Amino acid sequence: MKNIVILISGTGSNMAAIVRAAERERWAERLGARVVAVLSNRPGAAGLDTARAAGIATAVVDHRAHASREAFDAALMQAVDAHQPALLVLAGFMRILTPAFVAHYAGRLVNIHPSLLPAFPGLHTHQRAIDMGCRFAGATVHQVTAELDHGAILAQAVLPVLPGDSAEALAARVLTQEHLMYPRAIAELLLKI
């Protein structure tokens, strides 16, 4: 069985969409894959409750309890590897990962980023797209490499920026597309790994 581990920092709506897709599309039978654990760097992440309610193991590795990024990543790696992941999925995970961490999961670490990469890597993507006068925005599923938001693109969803759009309104419409795209991209990837 290919174990999927998901890292979150907050609401975890993408994580929930993946868990729902895995159940609905019977990934265990069809793809030999299952979501085995959801880990958060924030103890208060709402997604932890969602995962527990779905019967999925959860754990917290609090970045504030570690003196350096390297120490945090080493602890996170240990917690992740306890679940023997074939695929590690970042879903609203908000800590930049060290090159050592990324190398350890090379080829089996993916992220969803709320912009049309290579435009707007980093944070505050929706406000930046609005400020630049972009007519289109979206989200990108990509392989994670040491360079932030620069790995190979696996899938993209595009939608129009509307006149008078706020960052919040745009983010909500993009998020709806993320929920459709991310499970699909993961299912495709699972066929190849």
How far apart CA 49 and CA 21 sit, in angstroms, is: 18
102 binds, among ligand NHR, ligand GAR, none (CB under 5 to 8 A by kind): ligand NHR
Nearest to ligand NHR of 96, 180 (CB atom): 96
Residue whose C-alpha is closest to residue 109's, from 125, 92, 85:
85
DSSP secondary structure code for residue 192 in this structure: T
13 binds, among ligand GAR, ligand NHR, none (CB under 5 to 8 A by kind): ligand GAR
Cis preceding-peptide flag for 118 (omega within 30 of 0): yes
85 binds, among ligand GAR, ligand NHR, none (CB under 5 to 8 A by kind): none
Q: Which of residues 125-144 bind ligand NHR (CB under 6 A)?
A: 144
178 binds ligand NHR (CB under 6 A): no
Extended beta strands in 122-182, E state: 136-143, 153-160
178 binds ligand GAR (CB under 6 A): yes
29 CB-near residues (< 8 Å, 6+ apart): none
93 binds ligand NHR (CB under 6 A): yes
19 binds, among ligand GAR, ligand NHR, none (CB under 5 to 8 A by kind): none
90 binds ligand NHR (CB under 6 A): yes
Which stretches of the chain bind ligand NHR, using CB under 6 A?
90, 93-97, 102, 111, 113, 122-123, 144, 146, 148-149
